[in-house]
């Protein structure tokens, strides 16, 4: 248990940031994909390693509202990729059980955007699915 506790604390110490233009891209992609889900990977800036700069859209990730939009074997081993983003075609941005499994297996930070895909309808989560604060810069 102590190992988990230490990991959790150190992850919580990272103040994740996202560029406003990157967030806009997520919201626009979610809107244009609706009522299907949009899914992508979060890539950080090579200098500012706590700042999400780019979204990589995986081919073939969209499969309706199943929430199983990420194929784990397709995820690249790339240390500039820190986590995932996906949309929910509902008002809920709470991670599903499938989302929580994904969060635990891949990445450090995850974003879920919910309908109607505005600045007030997204949340970020850590590896454990616990909501974290992300600053828009
Ligand atoms: Zn989900």
Rounded to two decimals, the pTM is: 0.84
C-alpha of residue 75 to centroid of ligand 1, in Å: 17
Which structure tokens are listed for 106? 């891949």
Neighbours of ion ligand 1 (CB under 5 A): 67, 96, 99
Instruction: Tell me whether residue 5 is in a domain.
Output: no
- How far is residue 35 from each of residues 41, 98, 103, 117, 137, measured CA to CA in Å? 20, 19, 23, 12, 29
Instruction: Tell me whether residue 103 is in a domain.
Output: yes
C-alpha of residue 55 to centroid of ligand 1, in Å: 17
11 carries an active-site annotation: no
User: pLDDT 10s digit of each residue in the chain, 137 long?
Assistant: 445 555 454 555 789 999 999 999 999 999 998 988 888 999 998 898 999 999 988 765 555 545 556 766 667 778 899 999 999 999 999 999 889 988 998 889 999 999 999 999 999 999 999 999 999 99
CATH of the domain at 23: 3.40.140.10
95-122 pLDDT, tens digit per residue, is 998 899 889 988 899 999 999 999 999 9
C-alpha of residue 79 to centroid of ligand 1, in Å: 23
Structural domain containing residue 109: 11-136
Instruction: Tell me whether residue 46 is in a domain.
Output: yes
pLDDT for the residue numbered 98: 87
Instruction: Tell me whether residue 2 is in a domain.
Output: no
């Amino acid at each position: 248990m102590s190992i988990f506790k230490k990991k959790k604390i150190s992850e919580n110490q990272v103040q994740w940031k996202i560029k406003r233009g990157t967030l806009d891209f997520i919201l626009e992609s979610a809107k244009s994909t609706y009522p299907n889900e949009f899914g992508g990977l979060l890539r950080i800036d090579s200098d500012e390693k706590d700042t999400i700069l780019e979204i990589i859209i995986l081919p073939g990730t969209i499969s309706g509202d199943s929430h199983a939009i990420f194929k784990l074997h397709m995820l690249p081993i790339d240390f500039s990729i820190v986590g995932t983003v996906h949309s929910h075609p509902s008002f809920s941005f709470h991670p599903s059980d499938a989302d929580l499994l994904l969060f635990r297996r891949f990445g450090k930070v995850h974003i879920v955007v919910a309908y109607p895909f505005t600045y007030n309808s997204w949340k970020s989560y850590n590896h454990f699915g616990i909501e974290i604060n992300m600053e828009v810069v």
